[in-house]
Amino acid sequence: MKAFISVAFFALISCIATAQQENLKATYLYQFAKIIQWPDLGDSFTIGVWGESEIGSVLEVIAKSKKVMSKDLVIEKVNDVEELASCQIIFLPSASVSKLSAVIGASKSFDLLIVTDGSGLVSKGAGISFVDVSGKVLFELGKSNMAKNGLISVKLLERLAHKVY
Amino acid sequence: MLRSIRVINPDDSSSRAVVCAEDMHLRSVKKAEIGYEPSFLICMCIHILKLINNELMKIIKTDYRRILQLSICVILCFFGKTSAYAQEELDLDELLEMDLEKIVELQSAGRGDVGSFGYRLGTSNSEFQVHGYVTNEFINQQGSPKTFDNHYYNLLLGSQIGDKIFAEIQLEYEHGGEEIQARYAQIDYRVSKGLIFRTGKFLVPINTFNEYLYPEYINKAISRPFMNRNITPTAWAEVGVQIRGSFELSSTLNGFYSAYMVNGLEGTEGGDIRGMRGNNRDKNNGDKAIGGRFGVNSNKLELGTGVYNGKYSSDGLYGLTIISMDAGYLADGLTIRAEYSLTNMETSTEDISRNGASATISYVIAKKLEPVFRYDFMNWDDPSDPAKDQSRIYLGANYLLANTMNVKAGYEIVTNEGTDVEDNIFAIQLALGF
């Protein structure tokens, strides 16, 4: 009996925590889009989400009511590096971090913020990576990685980042 | 859709079959357009429920404990998922209203994390300031033992949130004693340069000395004028609300003002105003004191006048009015300041009128040495004790170790009216603001 209740209780907590983390990460992505100064923007601002991710769904909700620098926010599901050219931000969920090197290689010719989910990924070339710190969602910043992708990190990001590389 | 109309013979089974087929076709169209027919759904539901009920009853009879456990899990998961979705929507709306700093703040310090309110506030968009001032003295007064005195070690703790909100407290640690008290503890909200709201316990803007000059690392002399002890008793702070601000009168001249309502001084009839401070909460009567100050200042000149009016007796019968005027001139190392204050204190007999003034002149030589001369007096208006009427000449010199640190040496010649008591003072003071 106790074991069943415990399992159910932790399932409940897990459901809530997962939903909050997805919301947080999606909101972070939206905030990054607003804060960073983008060299060239077209008619819209596109955040790409690699593969299947609930964050993409949350971003879709955000895109319905929010704009980035007065431009429509577009969320695209990306499955191939060929699709990156239309994105300003690409988010690689933890299940897709194996694609990081391919994304870095493909994005050398245009301005792209690569955001990953997991620790140690900034050292592998991500511009920003979400990290779990005692159950909280914070982010690490790769200044030089952003510079390689034609982006300049803003002071605010440097101040708020959990670690800056 | 056209539907063929045929004459149906009830006894003709082929005709019934046609009708049924047409009816089924029509139902399938309805299903596609408007969903299942309600009666059909209800029948199905009832049938399914009966089946479930029968099966459940069998299971319950054989293994009711397992069913109970399963039910609790299902209920918990249902509420868990429901609350998770509710939380999801709520959180997203709230998150989208926040800026990045607030989000990081929330993430940096939350439930089950280290630290408490201070740590969590430390992650917010605020700048914390710790300052203070120290006054150490050696005093040799006629008729009294020579003594060292750790006069003040006061801490100034403040925080600025954005460019509009300012909080500050001065914690006073006096004479190396054990008691620590708040000289002021205030919050400012700046709407604009011309309008600032101040609440809490704040220094009463009665004159320049009380608001801006009394800390020893700023004050030119070692001691304070008599007037600033007993007429406008520095440091004089009251609890209430205030508006203040400054405005440009010309390219070289600014105006400033303040107006306040406070609990006010409270004490015995005809008593010492200094002892009336500290009425942090009105317990005896709800009378509030009002006052304000206004003036003008330029790079070199400052002129101001302040007024305070309120009931001071515990029974709320007798009023006290204080008026103070001050002037200052600063140029090329020369500082001249003068203040004059007078009071009118109602009593059950006749009003008491006390007054006092001070004038200070100093001049900085070679950026380091600053000779100081001050004359001050106070009239107590107490014929039974004329010695309370005092005057004093202060002669001293300050050595400026830094902008906010100096060593002072001074000699005070004190005159107590109607007596020949000699209580002149020689003192050395080290004052530091940090």
Span B249-305, pLDDT tens digits: 998 999 999 999 999 999 999 999 999 999 999 988 889 999 999 999 998 999 999
Distance separating alpha carbons of residues A92 and A53, to the nearest angstrom:
9
Q: Which residue of B has its CA nearest to A23?
A: B92
Each residue of B203-217: pLDDT tens digit? 999 999 999 999 999
| β-strand partners of B239 | B201
Provide, as residue numbers in chain A, all residues whose Cβ is less than 8 Å from the Cβ of B112: 134-135
How sure is the predictor about B3, in pLDDT bands with cuts at 50, 70 and 90?
very low
Kindly tell me if the per-residue pLDDT of B21 is higher than 50: no
Query: Residues 6 or more apart from B114 whose CB is under 8 A from it?
Result: none
User: Which residues are within 8 A (CB) of B374 and not within 5 positions of it... i.e. 6 or more apart?
Assistant: B220, B221, B225, B358, B359, B360, B361, B392, B393, B394
Residue B378: phi and psi, rounded to 5, are: -150, 130
**What pLDDT shows up at residue B107?**
73
Range with the poorest average pLDDT among B45-59, B262-276, B415-429: B45-59
**A57 to A66, A107, A117: CA distances (angstroms):** 14, 24, 16
Please give the structure tokens belonging to residue B76.
């918990």
By C-alpha distance, the chain B residue nearest A22 is: B88
Q: Tell me which of B90, B93, B95, B124 to substitute to probe the interface with A (most A C-beta atoms closer than 10 Å).
A: B95
Q: Is A6 helix (H, G, I), strand (E, B) or coil?
A: helix
Instruction: Please report the beta strands in B100-192, taking only residues with DSSP state E, as ranges in sequence order.
Output: 126-141, 147-161, 165-173, 180-192
| Total residues belonging to chain B | 434
Q: Which helix (H) or strand (E) holds B363?
A: strand B355-363
Integer Cα distance of A112 and B346 in angstroms: 77
Tell whether B385 is within 8 A of chain A (Cβ): no
Q: In what order do the strands lie in the sheet containing A163-164?
A: A67-68, A71-78, A44-50, A89-92, A113-117, A128-133, A136-141, A163-164
For residue B293, what pLDDT is reported? 97
pLDDT of residue B117: 76
Mean pLDDT of the B383-403 span: 93
- B319-378 pLDDT, tens digit each: 999 999 999 999 989 999 999 999 999 999 999 999 999 999 999 999 899 999 999 999
Residue B345 CA to residue B318 CA, distance in Å, equals 7
For residue B108, what pLDDT band results from cuts at 50, 70 and 90? low
Tokens of B220: 């030119």
User: Where does residue B332 fall: left (phi above 0), alpha (psi -120 to 50 degrees), or beta otherwise?
Assistant: left
- Those residues with Cβ within 8 angstroms of residue A37's Cβ, 6 or more apart along the chain or in another chain: A152, A154
Q: What is the DSSP letter of B210?
A: I
- Do A24 and A137 meet the contact criterion of CB atoms below 8 Å apart? yes
Q: Report d(CA B218, CA B214) in Å as an integer.
A: 7
What backbone phi and psi angles, to 5 degrees, belong to A161? -65, 145
Average pLDDT of every residue of chain B: 82
pLDDT for position A5: 57
**Whole-model pTM?**
0.61
Contact between B336 and B345 (Cβ < 8 Å): no
pLDDT band at B13 (very low <50, low <70, confident <90, very high): very low
Q: What CA–CA distances, in Å, run from B3 to A48, B21, B126?
A: 53, 12, 77
Q: What pLDDT score does B115 carry?
A: 74
Other beta carbons within 10 angstroms of residue A33's beta carbon come to 23
What does DSSP say about strands A136-141 and A128-133: parallel, antiparallel, or unpaired?
antiparallel
Could you identify the residue written with the tokens 């700046």? B190
Pair of tokens at residue B222: 């070692």
Residue B393, pLDDT score: 97
Contact list, B91 vs chain A (CB under 8 Å)? 19-20, 23-24
The confidence score (pLDDT) of residue B55 equals 63
Domains assigned to chain A: 2-164 (3.40.50)
CB A116 within 8 A of CB A98: no
Cβ-nearest to B87 among A20, A27, A31: A20
Amino acid B163: pLDDT: 82
| Residue-wise pLDDT tens digits, A143-165 | 989 988 888 878 888 888 888 88
Burial of A68 (0-12, 13-18, 19+ CB in 10 A): buried
What are the tens digits of pLDDT across the range B66-91? 655 655 545 444 444 333 333 333 46
* The predicted structure's pLDDT at residue B37: 43
**Residue, of B419 and B394, whose pLDDT is higher:** B394
> Using one digit for the tens of pLDDT, what is the confidence trace for A61-94?
999 999 998 899 999 999 999 999 999 999 999 9
pLDDT digits (tens, 9 = 90+) for B149-182: 999 999 999 998 878 899 999 999 999 877 889 9
The answer to whether the complex's ipTM is over 0.85 is no
The region that residue B96 occupies, defined by phi over 0 for left and psi between -120 and 50 for alpha, beta otherwise, is alpha
Q: What is the pLDDT of residue A131?
A: 92
More confident residue, A88 or B108: A88
Residue type, B320: L
Which chain A residues touch B98 with a CB distance below 8 Å?
Answer: 27
CATH class of B125-433: mainly beta
Contact criterion met (CB below 8 Å) for A56 and A49 = yes
Strands (E), B162-288: 165-173, 180-192, 195-203, 237-248, 254-262
Mutate to test the interface with A, among B63, B67, B71, B92 (most CBs of A within 10 A): B92
For the segment B10-35, the average pLDDT, to the nearest whole number, is 36
- Rounded to the nearest 10 degrees, the angle between the axes of helix B100-108 and helix A2-35 is 150
How far is Cα B341 from Cα B325, in angstroms, rounded to an integer? Answer: 6
- What share of chain B has pLDDT > 70, as a percent? 76
Q: For chain B, which residues make up each domain, given as ranges?
A: 2-114, 125-433
pLDDT of residue B80: 41
Question: Mutate which of A15, A68, A141 to disrupt the B interface (most B C-beta within 10 Å)?
Answer: A15
